[in-house]
Structure 1
Amino acid sequence: MSSWTKKPTNDSLVDQLVSEGNIEDEKSISALRKVDRKFYVLEKNKSSAYFDRPLGIGHEATISAPHMHAMTLELLKDDLNPDLKEEPISVLDVGSGSGFFTAVMGVLVSRNGKVVGIEHIPKLVEFGSSNIKNGNPELLEKGIVKIVEGDGRLGYEENAPYDVIHVGACAKNGVPEKLIEQLKVGGKIVIPVEKSTGRQYLECGIKKKNGKLETSQICGVRISFTIDSPIFKVRCN
């Protein structure tokens, strides 16, 4: 269970995530230390930046709780590790929002990889880009990360196929076909999915040679926005 105790620094927040068993991978821990959460929240929420909880970023969106980011990094630790890949790593972050998780993945693949964050709300495209410029400008300057405006259900063809696709909005009607198409064989997608029972689960899927996803349920989640809504609202990262 995550503590909601306020911590004074980004390092102490990361230390808390480690001590509570939310994350173990050393490269992922290092990346979290390099992306300071205070640069990715609204000015009015700066004093709460190191709480382990989601924070609103406007437009009915949030930056997710740090323990959720940590959990996702553990799921993707091998997929985002350049030392384990022969080719440059390509990543798509659907619903990039604050830009925080896009930046963390950018740090992890920065040796020769690329991360595209796609966001449907223009103001959040600006917000996320500005946050990365302030917090981790080298990712933009070196072309490691970029934020684009678009419908995340359709993916982003220009940088496909992807080793990793991360989705921050809940899929009620299954994983969008365009995202499956743009995933490499052996690539991994992490996405919240709502079942017919109404319950939501974080799922991790691996694309097999036949083009299908082999998925596993990681944990239950509660997400307000869905990737299937006519207006693509996302729970941002």
Structure 2
Amino acid sequence: MAWRSSGASNEALIENLARHGLITNARVKQAMLGVDRAHYAPYAPYQDSPQTIGYSATISAPHMHASACESLLPYLNPGSKVLDVGSGSGYLTHVLAELVKPGGKVIGIEHIQPLVDMGTQNTRKSAEGRELMDNGGIRYVKADGRLGWPEDAPYDAIHVGAAAAAFHQPLIDQLKAPGRLFMPVEENYAQHIYVIDKKEDGTVTKTKDMGVQYVPLTDAPAD
């Protein structure tokens, strides 16, 4: 149903995703309605498909963003702290920030400065985004996402927006107990979403979910 969910406006896109069962939670729907994808996607923003944003990066299809939000939702509450690895154009970083306000914080991490700048500039295109940037609800940083961002750890939820070659232990270490990590992992030339839960006693479980196709979580491209 994903390919049939595109719309002529942000509202139409989100309503179509909900009608086709790709968004099932009212909080997620409201958050996505509140973030205009046109501020973050360079062309055809209301098409339910991934798009290139330059620098060997993409913005994922909206239905994948909805899936990530719904998976992480039990840990996305007012005041929660979230790490968005591979924040790209900043779209999902903003949606996550809508889900954890008031009082929440989302760190978007990218490995090259132009993407950090892109996320910042895109988020400031809306009054809501500017407010979140100014009050600390969203912050973009440049670093190796595979190492997480220890400065603000631990996190209630971590989202990874590129395919990892391994279960990067620093990310698991930076999860709260309880906390949840949503990440695509490459195994034997295929990619699958893994949902990694850390329980209150620190026990970690890894649940394999749907097959996907993401760009790899790698070093910054060579100049």
State the shift of 1:5 in Å: 6.1
Counterpart in the other structure of 1:171: 164
Map of 1:3 onto structure 2: 3
* Counterpart check, 1:74 vs 2:70: yes
Deviation, 1:2, is: 1.0
2:151 maps to a residue whose letter is E
**How far off its partner does 1:212 sit?**
4.5
Query: Within 2, Cα distance between the matches of 1:115 and 1:137?
Result: 14
Q: Which residue of structure 2 lines up, in the alignment, with residue 130 of structure 1? A: 121
1:139 has 2:132 as partner: yes
Runs of 4+ in 1 over 4 A off after TM superposition: none
Q: Which residue type is aligned with residue 30 of structure 1?
A: Q
Mean Cα displacement is larger for which, 66-75 or 200-209? 200-209
| Backbone CA RMSD of aligned residues | 1.5
Instruction: Give the equivalent residue in structure 2 for 1:53.
Output: 49
| SS of corresponding position for 1:117 | strand
Is 1:109 the equivalent of 2:105? no
Q: Which amino acid aligns with 1:35?
A: V
Q: Structure 2: how far apart are the matches of 1:76 and 1:209? A: 16
Distance 2:112 2:194 in 1: 25
> Whole-Å Cα distance in 2 between the matches of residues 6 and 91 of structure 1?
28
Q: Which residue does the alignment assign to 2:81?
A: 90
- Alignment-derived partner of residue 59 in structure 2: 63
Instruction: Structure 1 unaligned segments of length 5 or more: list them.
Output: 83-87
Q: Residues 190-216 of structure 1: CA distance to partner in whole angstroms, max 9, x if unpaired?
A: 000122x32210010101356442011
With 135-144 and 29-38 compared, the bigger mean Cα shift is at: 135-144
CA contact (8 A) 2:77 2:101 kept: no
Deviation of 1:78 after TM superposition, in Å, equals 1.6
Q: Give me the whole-angstrom Cα distance separating, in 1, the residues matched to 2:163 and 2:5.
A: 28
The one-letter amino acid of 1:53's match is: S
| Equivalent residue, structure 1, for 2:38 | 38
Kindly provide the CA deviation profile for residues 168-195 of structure 1, in whole angstroms up to 9, marking residues without a partner as x.
121222x111111111111000000122
How much does 1:61 deviate?
Answer: 0.9
Q: Percent identity?
A: 42
Provide the C-alpha distance between the structure 2 equivalents of 1:113 and 1:214, rounded to a whole number of angstroms: 25
Superimposed CA distance per residue, residues 85-121 of structure 1 (whole angstroms, 9 cap, x where no aligned partner): xxx3110000111000000000111111111001001
More off after superposition, 176-185 vs 31-40: 176-185
Does residue 156 of structure 1 match 2:149?
A: yes
SS across alignment from 1:56? strand
TM score, norm. by length of structure 2: 0.93
Alpha-carbon spacing, 1:13–1:193, altered in 2? closer, same or farther (3 Å): same
In the aligned structure 2, how far is the partner of 1:19 from the partner of 1:81?
25
Instruction: Answer yes or no: is the 8 Å Cα contact 2:58–2:215 preserved in 1.
Output: no
Contact 1:119 1:125 in 2 (8 A): yes
Flag the structure with more relative contact order, 1 or 2, with Cα contacts below 8 A and sequence separation at least 6: 1
Q: How many residues align?
A: 219
Given residue 179 of structure 1, which amino acid in structure 2 is its aligned partner?
L
Q: TM-score, normalised by structure 1?
A: 0.88
Q: Letter of the aligned partner of 1:92 in structure 2?
A: L
